[in-house]
A and B are shown apart, each in its own frame.
Chain A
């Protein structure tokens, strides 16, 4: 069963913040976050491992709540280049390295 992402879409003005959530009903080993621009392949943003720390770099960070099997991606002071569709990919404890992706969150940053 695929993870559920929310919101489905969000529109921001440059400089505003956003949070994208990812929730799974399975016991997870890790959560992977990607951004995909139209017509391109997904680009890796970060990975959060079970038992690991909150990850982040520059203005994008993420957290993983192992008890709730939920992850959140935090985008602060958004830039025009942040526009795209964000996907979380979940890796289950027992599924090996296969990723199950959510439906995606479409993020639009306007000037």
Chain B
């Protein structure tokens, strides 16, 4: 079975530009979460979507936005890029907490470098 997939794998942008990152969850998973991981730190929660609705938002500025599509894939958008946005962006998919199997499985990530 295919795991979580993300695209692109690497991206180089300049300050002020916009970026869109994509994620496809494991088949059957309706929940997608986005995390930002800066070098040397643990992943930091950005968003969670379930059934196309935002269910949680971390402490990130409004430049960060996301959405989930009817096929449960998701996009993360970041506007007006700053140097500090350089990081590994991870997508994780899971079943809902009520299922009792809410393990979050991570995709390979998109490594974003802002110059």
Interface residues in chain A, defined as those with a beta carbon under 8 Å from any beta carbon in chain B: 2, 29-30, 32, 34, 40-44, 47, 49, 87, 89, 91, 95-104
In the complex, are the beta carbons of A44 and B104 less than 8 A apart?
yes
Write the chain A residue with the least CB distance to B47: A98
Which A residues lie within 8 Å of B41 (CB)?
A: 103-104
Min CB distance, A24 to chain B, in Å? 13
In the complex, residue of chain A having the shortest beta-carbon distance to the beta carbon of B109? A41
Q: Which of B31, B48, B106 contacts A41 (CB 8 A)?
A: B106
Give residues 67-115 of B contacting A (CB, 8 Å).
88, 90, 94, 96-97, 100, 102-109
* Known contacts A98-B48, A101-B44, A104-B42, A42 near B102 by CB under 8 Å: no
With known contacts A96-B56, A98-B33, A32–B94 Cβ distance under 8 A: no
> Can you list 13 residue pairs at the A/B interface with Cβ under 8 Å?
A32-B104, A41-B90, A41-B107, A43-B106, A44-B103, A44-B105, A47-B103, A89-B43, A96-B56, A97-B31, A97-B94, A103-B42, A104-B41
Which residue of B35, B42, B105, B107 has the most chain A CB atoms within 10 A of its CB atom?
Answer: B42
Residues of B with Cβ closer than 8 Å to A? 31, 33, 35, 41-45, 48, 50, 55-56, 58, 88, 90, 94, 96-97, 100, 102-109
Contact B56 A98 (CB under 8 A): yes
A99 and B104 contacting across the interface, CB-CB below 8 Å: yes
Min CB–CB distance A36 → chain B (angstroms): 9
- Minimum C-beta distance from A92 to chain B (A): 11
CB–CB A2/B42 < 8 A: yes
- A27 CA to B58 CA in the complex, in Å? 18
**Which listed residue, A49, A97, A104, touches B104 by the CB 8 Å rule?**
A97
Is B43 a contact partner of A87 (Cβ separation < 8 A)? yes
What is the distance, in angstroms, from A9's C-beta to the closest C-beta of chain B?
12
- 6 nearest A-B pairs in the assembled complex, by CB-CB distance: A101-B42, A41-B106, A98-B45, A98-B56, A41-B109, A101-B43
Q: Knowing A44-B103, A47-B103, say if A96 contacts B48 (CB, 8 Å).
A: yes
